Structure 1
Amino acid sequence: MSLTRKQYDEHPDGGLEQAMSAVAAALADPSRVSMLCALMDGRAWTATELSVVADIAPSTASGHLTKLLGSGLIRCLSQGRHRYYSLANREIAGLIENLMGVSMRAQPARASSTPLRLRHARTCYDHLAGEVAVGVYAFMVEAQWLTTDGNTLTPEGREQLLGLGVKLNPRPRRKACCPCLDWSERRYHLGGDAGAALLALFLEKRWLSQAPGYRELTVTERGRTALQQLFRIDFTYC
């Protein structure tokens, strides 16, 4: 049963619509978007660092951060005299990643303009994204480590990941694993608790390296060998 305009007006709720509008308004500024994209590396940043990323004055950055805080997109952490800003939660990271994908699709069809260093391997908040991540996900589905929908680790997959040293949480507070649409590759990479644990292992084993403050990841020589052997990643294109 659908509501008529009159019935809708007689039951004005509007809370959800207003909240959605507030989030959209917070995203409707290139400087604020630059800050949010920087926070996608999973770290907490100072206002000064974010002002440099957005190429704006610290005083201007303060106003933008207030707007992002008010919309619930970020949170502020105080430590001594310092204040640090980070994304509010993983759901916000997913929102930004999805928005990147929608924005890319809205552009006229053409060769990808994504910087190669980001397209190859990068963080998607707390898990791996980019060409390498898409390759790992495709292998896991083909090897039946994942169900075809990507939402569940198979018994074989769980055993294989544990054998590699991946520290899977037996009682994750979020999805154990899930497919995450990669905005540059337009295919899926692994998200959820398993995706985060897999990235943590790659960094721990130094198969990947990351410069503080940047989303891009570098595949080390050790990593190229391991990822070729374990996940059949083809590095001949780079």
Structure 2
Amino acid sequence: MPVEPDITRIAATIGDASRIRMLVLLMEGRALTAKELALGAGIAPGTATTHLQRLLDDGLLAATAQGRHKYFRFASAEVAQLVESLMRVAPKRKGEKSPALLEPIRHARFCYDHLAGSLGTGLLSMLLRKRWLAGDPADDRRLLVTATGEKALQALGLDLPELRSRRRQFACTCLDWSERRDHLGGALGAALASHFTQQGWIARKKHSRVVQVTTEGAACFSRLGLKLPG
């Protein structure tokens, strides 16, 4: 008989307040040190080490040693999707900031390594509207690149065969916690976010998931037919 996944174990792991705060910090998409995660979670470094070991043991995090430091990141894109899913169903905190103060992260942010918020959902809407992408009749979450999209995305500079060769899902929908609409995830979503960053169309705010669209980016997105938030 196949052994069922130990859901209670993983629930207990992410159910700890300090550990879930660490996971949320890693949604920035950057690898962080134990000290950075401890400071961000508001706990002592020694306590953080114990929590990080639990996250490593349960396959949620991976660690890489570089020089004197050890850097922690999500073990897979599925872990980021898990954290994003929890954000969608979590109740609002008491005394939550006003909508005006929350606007930057709702407008444009990284969901681990792909774009989310109004910018992310708008990007997916544009790709579907221009028929560069289409839904897969066999899978509600999977997206297919059309012949038109194949040419257009390669013209942008994306290496689609290389993206398809990766172990992660190529293109899929990801329900946005703030917009309650889908944005683009998977290897294609990550590649587009990386491309926009390298081209200087978007810039990530330091130590934050928030993304700002540059003046050049606004003009380029407009030419593509993407209406920007705000």
Shorter-chain TM-score category? 0.7 to 0.9
Superposed structure 1 runs of 4+ greater than 3 Å apart: 111-114
User: 2:201 aligned with 1:207, yes or no?
Assistant: yes
| Alignment partners' CA distance in 1, 2:64 and 2:159 | 27
Structure 1 residue matching 2:79: 3-state secondary structure:
helix
Is the 8 Å Cα contact of residues 114 and 184 (structure 1) preserved in structure 2? no
Instruction: Tell me which amino acid in the other structure corresponds to 2:203.
Output: S
How big is each residue's C-alpha offset from its partner over 1:144-177, in whole Å with a ceiling of 9 and x where there is no partner? Answer: 1111355101111121111122333252322221
1:154 to 146, 154, 164: 146
Which position in structure 2 is the counterpart of 1:60? 47
What is the Cα deviation at residue 113 of structure 1?
9.1
Q: Indicate the RMSD between aligned Cα atoms, in angstroms.
A: 2.4
- Higher CA-based Rg: 1
How many pairs does the alignment contain? 220
- Residue pairs, 1:161-172, within 5 angstroms: 161-168=153-160, 169=162, 170-172=164-166
Q: Is the 8 A contact 2:126 2:225 kept in 1?
A: yes
What is the TM-score of this pair, normalised by structure 1? Answer: 0.84
Q: Determine which of 77, 81, 85 is the counterpart of 2:64.
A: 77
3-state SS of the aligned residue for 1:190?
strand
Distance in 1, matches of 2:215 and 2:34, equals 36
Q: Secondary structure at the match of 2:134?
A: coil
CA–CA distance in structure 1, aligned partners of residues 23 and 207 of structure 2: 13
Report the identity percentage. 40
User: Which of 115, 136, 145 is 2:123 aligned to?
Assistant: 136
Q: Which consecutive residues of structure 1, in runs of 5 or more, have no partner in the other structure?
A: 1-10
Matched, 1:30 2:20: no
Unaligned stretches of 5+ residues in structure 2: 137-141
Q: Which has the higher strand share?
A: 2
Offset of 1:112 from its aligned partner?
Answer: 6.5
In structure 2, C-alpha distance between the alignment counterparts of 1:71 and 1:171, rounded to whole Å? 27
